[in-house]
């Protein structure tokens, strides 16, 4: 999920909404002088806090972005130089904690936790120091251009790597496939459970840390954590997870053919994770899936929260025990083996991805797109096609094309996600464009919102060639109603024929404290008045949405799952237009422009 942190730049992840405006030169001068004082171990000077607060008031967007980029480079240059001058772990710990407290609003507890996960615990990770010590050509421009690509930070030495694509299939050689929409199967889509073992009903839902509802007593009853979850910055208690699974087992499991789980099991308390606790939680969730979906096949993928530290997927060739995240691939290969054939283990162990021929003519491709997430610090170490995954994807899709197979792609990070590394995103889009006739649909998670993304042909800009569906989230983080989704998929061509979105209203559930009342929020085809979900219908729908604020408001309602707090917050005309823009933003640079 996009809210996680990669610590070398944790000081800057909130810069965009924490900064206020004076002259750029004065701000940079204050930051340069202030961070020098932090190295000496002194109390952060007031003028440094003021400089941080002053950036967001810069009215000119270009100057605002440039100031963020230059500020990032100033601090990163200092961090790298300080370590390479001989600073030991203890000194780096003190310095990074100070930076975190100045540049973020995580608070001292979370800042200490992030630093200690990274460079203090002797038996755990020191990824930050490893990268600084071993990536000799590491530059501030490289790091900042990745983490602040949304602010258009640039690295003049960036590697514009390209994934080779085979020539397009000659139309005369393409095998026609008869489309039969009279028979279909049902597929359950679960995503972003974010189970929190420490969730405590009636605890404080408004706290000074990035995740609440775990302890303390609320001074105001309205800020007490709800029994079934909470609209505040909280994840999900065990009894809510059990209720979800029990409801599906009682009402839906007999009708579904497959289960897609598109990642994120672990909670957002990212500053306290450990390999042992993550393993325990992952085993619990997959064990419960096995219990509930006894005669069904689950196709799981990894989220950005599964590894420890959160977001980090170590680069190829990095085998040192104190930094490698190979353990999450090993664990996944073992846990997923109850559902997947043996021939998937090689690629799962290599990079957390796999493919399965589900039945003749229908294939699932499961990606570990988390490697593109800009909070994955290992991108600063090596960003060229991590784990050779996109190269492999092209090979799989090319073979599927030749065999006239139809493919579903499962991926945690959706196409166009603004925090997906722009080169990875660019190459992924080109792969989808090339194999759109083979890919029937894509299924994503991560953003926690009910959205879809539409690909248009690069040659015929008015022709829709592919659609990616986001399953939203079971977690309420932040301000949503829990949900799950069931697709109706054509048996012949694996195209999505319709889907139903199921939710429960958190306010009503917490008022009653009895079992939540799950209900169908909407069916896609009926809600948007579509005769079917053929690709050209999405083009027609987007045209209607662009001319109807009422239709866009309905899209917003569904996007937030009729959440009481989100409906109250609302979405003005500018907000609705931005949501419409995101639907067709299937590459990072397009989302930046939205």
Listed by start position, the domains of the chain span: 7-151, 185-199+235-310+323-351+383-593
Q: Round to the nearest angstrom and report the end-to-end CA distance of the chain.
A: 20
With b for 16 or more beta-carbon neighbours within 10 A and e for fewer, the 413-424 pattern comes to bbbbbbbbbbbb
C-alpha to C-alpha distance for 337 and 343, rounded to whole angstroms: 10
% of the chain with per-residue pLDDT over 90: 78
Q: Which two tokens stand for residue 92?
A: 């780096």
Cβ pair 489, 359 in contact under 8 A:
no
Distances (CA, A) of 566 to 2, 129, 206, 224, 480: 19, 41, 17, 19, 7
Grouping H, G, I as helix, E, B as strand and the rest as coil, residue 51 is helix
The beta strands (E) that lie in 360-463 are given as: 362-366, 406-410, 439-444, 452-456
pLDDT tens digits for range 337-369:
999 999 999 999 999 999 999 999 999 999 999
Cβ pair 6, 375 in contact under 8 A:
yes
Cβ pair 465, 535 in contact under 8 A:
yes
pLDDT of residue 17: 38
pLDDT tens digits for range 285-315:
999 999 999 999 999 999 999 999 999 999 9
In the predicted model, is pLDDT for residue 18 greater than 70?
Answer: no
Confidence of residue 23 (pLDDT cuts 50, 70, 90): low
For the beta sheet containing 483-490, the strands, ordered from the edge strand earlier in sequence to the opposite edge, are: 297-300, 258-261, 184-190, 483-490, 496-503, 519-523
DSSP state of 531: S
**Considering only CA atoms, which of 463, 399, 467, 491 is closest in space to residue 178?**
491
C-alpha to C-alpha distance for 541 and 306, rounded to whole angstroms: 36
C-alpha to C-alpha distance for 341 and 262, rounded to whole angstroms: 19
Q: Which two tokens stand for residue 44?
A: 């952060």
Q: Strand 519-523 to strand 496-503: parallel, antiparallel, or no bridges (unpaired)?
A: antiparallel
SS3 content of the chain, % helix, strand, coil (to 5): 45, 15, 40
pLDDT of residue 90: 86
In the predicted model, is pLDDT for residue 565 greater than 50?
Answer: yes
Higher pLDDT, 394 or 183: 394
pLDDT tens digits for range 417-471:
999 999 999 999 999 999 999 999 999 999 999 999 999 999 999 999 999 999 9
Cβ pair 296, 361 in contact under 8 A:
no
Burial of 290 (0-12, 13-18, 19+ CB in 10 A): middle
DSSP state of 166: P
The beta strands (E) that lie in 220-284 are given as: 258-261
Choosing among 2.60.40.740, 3.60.21.10, 3.90.1150.10, 3.40.30.10, the CATH entry for 185-199+235-310+323-351+383-593 is 3.60.21.10
In the predicted model, is pLDDT for residue 10 greater than 60?
Answer: no
DSSP state of 387: G
Cβ pair 269, 198 in contact under 8 A:
yes
The beta strands (E) that lie in 306-438 are given as: 354-359, 362-366, 406-410
Q: How high does pLDDT run on average in the chain? A: 91
Cβ pair 2, 446 in contact under 8 A:
yes
C-alpha to C-alpha distance for 402 and 297, rounded to whole angstroms: 26
Confidence of residue 181 (pLDDT cuts 50, 70, 90): low
Average pLDDT of span 101-111: 83
pLDDT of residue 15: 39
In the predicted model, is pLDDT for residue 2 greater than 50?
Answer: no
pLDDT tens digits for range 434-444:
999 999 999 99
Query: CB 459: neighbour CB atoms within 10 A?
Result: 8
**Considering only CA atoms, which of 197, 98, 230 is closest in space to residue 106?**
98
pLDDT of residue 178: 52
DSSP H or E run through 520? strand 519-523
Cβ pair 195, 281 in contact under 8 A:
yes
Average pLDDT of span 47-70: 87
pLDDT of residue 302: 98
pLDDT tens digits for range 375-401:
999 999 999 999 999 999 999 999 999
Confidence of residue 40 (pLDDT cuts 50, 70, 90): confident
% of the chain with per-residue pLDDT over 70: 93
Backbone angles phi, psi at 443, to 5 degrees: -135, 125
C-alpha to C-alpha distance for 254 and 428, rounded to whole angstroms: 36
**CA-based torsion, 388, 389, 392, 398: positive or negative:** negative
In the predicted model, is pLDDT for residue 585 greater than 70?
Answer: yes
Per-position DSSP letters for 215-235, written without gaps between them = SSB-SSGGGBPPSS--SSS--
Query: CB 46: neighbour CB atoms within 10 A?
Result: 9
Q: Strand 439-444 to strand 406-410: parallel, antiparallel, or no bridges (unpaired)?
A: parallel
Backbone angles phi, psi at 220, to 5 degrees: -120, 130
pLDDT of residue 177: 52
Cβ pair 128, 119 in contact under 8 A:
yes
Q: Give pTM, 2 decimals.
A: 0.93
| Locus of tokens 């001989």 | 86
DSSP state of 415: T
Cβ pair 407, 364 in contact under 8 A:
yes
In the predicted model, is pLDDT for residue 37 greater than 90?
Answer: no
**Considering only CA atoms, which of 579, 349, 343 is closest in space to residue 447?**
579
Query: CB 462: neighbour CB atoms within 10 A?
Result: 9
Average pLDDT of span 1-11: 37
């Amino acid at each position: 999920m996009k809210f996680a942190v990669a610590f070398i730049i944790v000081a800057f992840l909130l810069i965009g909404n924490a900064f206020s405006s004076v002259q750029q030169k004065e701000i940079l001068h204050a930051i340069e002088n202030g961070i020098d004082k932090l190295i000496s171990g002194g109390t952060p000077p007031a003028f440094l806090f003021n400089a941080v607060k002053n950036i967001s008031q810069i009215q000119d967007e270009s100057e605002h972005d440039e100031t963020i980029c230059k500020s990032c480079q100033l601090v990163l240059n200092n961090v790298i130089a300080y370590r390479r001058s001989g600073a030991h772990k203890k000194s780096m710990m003190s310095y990074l904690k100070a930076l975190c407290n100045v540049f973020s609003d995580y608070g001292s507890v979370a800042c200490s936790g992030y630093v200690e996960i990274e460079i203090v615990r002797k038996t755990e990770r020191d990824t930050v120091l490893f990268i600084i010590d071993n990536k000799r050509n590491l530059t501030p421009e490289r790091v900042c251009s990745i983490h602040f690509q949304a602010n258009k930070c640039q690295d003049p030495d960036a590697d514009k790597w390209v994934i080779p694509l085979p020539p397009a299939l000659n139309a005369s050689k393409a095998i026609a496939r008869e489309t039969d929409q009279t028979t279909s199967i049902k597929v359950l889509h679960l995503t972003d459970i974010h189970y929190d073992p420490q969730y405590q009903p009636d605890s404080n839902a408004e706290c000074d840390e990035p995740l609440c509802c775990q302890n303390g007593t609320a001074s105001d009853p309205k800020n007490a954590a709800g029994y079934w979850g909470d609209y505040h910055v909280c994840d999900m208690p065990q009894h809510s997870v059990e209720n979800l699974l029990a409801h599906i087992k009682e009402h839906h499991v007999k009708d579904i053919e497959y289960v897609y789980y598109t990642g994120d099991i672990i909670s957002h308390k990212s500053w306290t994770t450990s390999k042992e606790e993550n393993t325990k939680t992952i085993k619990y969730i997959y064990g419960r899936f096995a219990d509930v979906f006894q005669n069904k096949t689950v196709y799981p993928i990894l989220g950005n929260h599964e590894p420890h530290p959160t977001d980090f997927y170590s680069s190829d060739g990095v085998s040192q025990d104190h930094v490698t995240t190979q353990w999450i691939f090993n664990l996944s290969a073992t846990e997923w083996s109850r559902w997947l054939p043996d021939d998937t283990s090689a690629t799962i162990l290599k990079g957390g991805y796999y493919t399965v021929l589900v039945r003749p003519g229908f294939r699932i491709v499961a990606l570990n797109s988390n490697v593109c997430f800009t909070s994955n610090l290992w991108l600063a170490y090596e960003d060229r096609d991590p784990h050779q995954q996109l190269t492999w994807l092209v090979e799989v899709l090319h073979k599927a094309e030749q065999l006239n197979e139809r493919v579903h792609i499962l991926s945690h990070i959706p196409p166009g996600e603004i925090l997906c590394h722009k080169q990875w995103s660019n190459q992924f889009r080109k792969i989808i464009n090339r194999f759109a006739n083979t890919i029937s649909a894509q299924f994503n998670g991560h953003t926690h919102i009910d959205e879809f993304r539409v690909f248009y042909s690069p040659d015929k800009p008015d022709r829709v060639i592919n659609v990616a569906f986001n399953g939203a989230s079971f977690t309420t983080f932040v301000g949503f109603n829990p949900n799950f989704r069931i697709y109706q998929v054509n048996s012949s061509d694996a195209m999505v024929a319709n889907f139903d979105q199921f939710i429960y209203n958190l306010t009503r559930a917490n008022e009653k404290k009895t079992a939540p009342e799950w209900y169908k929020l909407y069916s896609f085809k009926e809600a948007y008045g579509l005769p079917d979900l053929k690709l050209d219908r999405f083009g027609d729908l987007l045209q209607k949405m662009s001319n109807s604020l009422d239709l866009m408001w309905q899209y917003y309602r569904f996007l937030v799952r009729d959440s009481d707090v989100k409906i109250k917050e609302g979405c003005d005309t500018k907000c609705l237009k931005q949501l419409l823009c995101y639907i067709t933003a299937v590459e990072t640079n397009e989302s930046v422009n939205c």
